Every structure is written in structure tokens, then in C-alpha cells.
């Protein structure tokens, strides 16, 4: 597996579909998604509650999004560190892949980032703003929660 693969969490993909940055992101970067997180990406909602289906199958078939299947043994490494009751399965699988296969991980969840720090893998975290800045043309971050500074200040607070 390529070291340059960056795993995106479910929220990044859902917001990508919602705010229209998914295609530019996939065109510019080698993006993967943990198998259990992939299963979560089904739809997004507009502010008024309207539901829109997300179909990632075409980008998977085209090879621009890679589903990465973690193993139970890899997951065990993360569960053994006692973080499971705070994080979702998709995040835990992604973290296990970061540890065992040295992938990068794009998430806006400060607890996931904090866990990366605790696991000694903080440098593998990529903020969405950094990925979007490299898109052509550069995309706007849809929410301040995706800014490195926002997440870092939250992580510092939970230290």
C-alpha cells in the first residue's frame, strides 16, 4: 500500500457530497476510506431536513476512492489501548490502519485527533483545509471545524 494514501472519515465524505468538494478532493489526492466508515456514507441532509442519497460506488469502481479493509487483528491493537468507548467503529478502524499500515487520516473529530496524539501518530493527521488547499482550483473549507487551528485548540483543551 502506498504511504501517500489518506483515509477520510465518514463526515468528510458526507460533507464532501453535501458541499461539492468531494470530486475535486478525489481528483487531487489518493483518498481511501475504512470499510466500516464507508458503510456509514449513505446520504446527507440539507438544513431544511431534505435527504439526498450519496452513491460512492462509481468513484470506487473508477478507482478514485479506495475502500480499505482493516482486519480484526489490526482493530485489536486499538481496542487494547482502551479508547473504544469514546470513538465510533469507523474511526477505530481508520486508526488501526494508521497504526499498522502507516496511512494518513483526515478527520475533524478532536477525540480522534487526540487519540492519534496518544497513540504517537499525531503527524499522520491531516486537516481538511490542507487537502482542499491543494485542490485545483483550491476549495473553501465549509465549516471552521475543518481548520487545523480549531481542532488543535480543542485537542489542547482535552489534554
Partner 1 sequence: MTQETVADHLGIPRSAVSEIETGGRELSAVELLQLSRLFGEPMEHLLGTAAHQPDEELVMLRAEEAVDAPARAEVRRFVARCADYQQLEEWTGAVRTPELRQPRAILSSYPQARTLADEERKRFDLGVTPAHQLLVVLEDRVGIKVLAQPIGSHLSGASVFSERFGPAILLNNSNTPQRQIFTLAHEYFHLLTRGRVKGSKGAQPVHLCEPPTPGVSRDAGEELANQFAAQLLMPRQHFVDQIKQLAEDKKSLSNSDLISLARYFGVSVTAVVTRMAMLNMIPSKVARETYADPELRQSVKAQAGEQVLEPTRFKRLAVKAYLAEHISRSRLAELLDVNTADVDREVKRFGGEEAGRDVPFVMPR
Radius of gyration of the chain (CA): 15
Q: Give the 3-state secondary structure of residue 29.
A: coil
Is residue 87 involved in binding partner 1 (CB under 8 A)?
yes
Binding-site member from 112, 116, 127, 151 for partner 1 (CB under 8 A): 112
- What is the grid cell recorded at 49? 431536513
Task: For residue 108, give Cα distances in angstroms to 1, 15, 118, 137, 158.
Answer: 24, 11, 16, 22, 15
Binding-site member from 3, 48, 49, 120 for partner 1 (CB under 8 A): 49
- Which of the stretches 21-29, 87-95, 120-128, 135-143 binds partner 1 when contact is defined by CB under 8 A? 87-95
Is residue 40 involved in binding partner 1 (CB under 8 A)?
yes
Binding-site member from 16, 24, 32, 90 for partner 1 (CB under 8 A): 90
Is residue 140 involved in binding partner 1 (CB under 8 A)?
no
DSSP state for residue 145 in the 8-state scheme:
G
- What is the grid cell recorded at 57? 460506488
Is residue 88 involved in binding partner 1 (CB under 8 A)?
yes
Q: Determine how many CB atoms are found less than 10 A away from the CB of residue 53.
A: 8
Residues that bind partner 1 (CB under 8 A): 9-11, 14, 34-37, 39-45, 49, 69-76, 79-80, 84-91, 93, 96, 109-112, 154, 157-158
Amino acid at each position: 500500500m502506498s504511504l501517500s494514501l489518506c483515509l477520510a472519515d465518514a463526515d468528510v465524505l458526507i460533507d464532501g457530497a453535501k458541499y461539492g468538494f468531494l470530486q475535486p478532493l478525489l481528483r487531487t489526492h489518493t483518498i481511501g476510506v475504512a470499510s466500516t466508515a464507508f458503510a456509514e456514507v449513505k446520504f446527507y441532509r440539507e438544513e431544511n431536513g431534505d435527504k439526498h442519497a450519496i452513491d460512492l460506488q462509481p468513484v470506487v469502481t473508477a478507482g478514485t476512492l479506495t475502500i480499505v479493509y482493516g482486519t480484526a487483528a489490526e482493530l485489536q491493537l486499538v481496542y487494547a489501548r482502551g479508547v473504544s468507548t469514546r470513538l465510533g467503529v469507523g474511526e477505530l478502524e481508520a486508526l488501526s490502519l494508521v497504526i499498522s499500515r502507516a496511512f494518513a487520516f483526515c478527520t475533524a473529530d478532536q477525540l480522534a485527533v487526540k487519540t492519534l496524539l496518544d497513540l504517537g501518530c499525531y503527524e499522520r493527521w491531516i486537516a481538511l483545509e490542507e487537502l482542499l488547499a491543494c485542490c485545483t482550483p483550491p476549495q473553501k473549507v465549509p465549516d471552521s471545524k475543518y481548520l487545523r487551528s480549531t481542532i488543535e485548540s480543542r485537542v489542547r483543551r482535552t489534554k
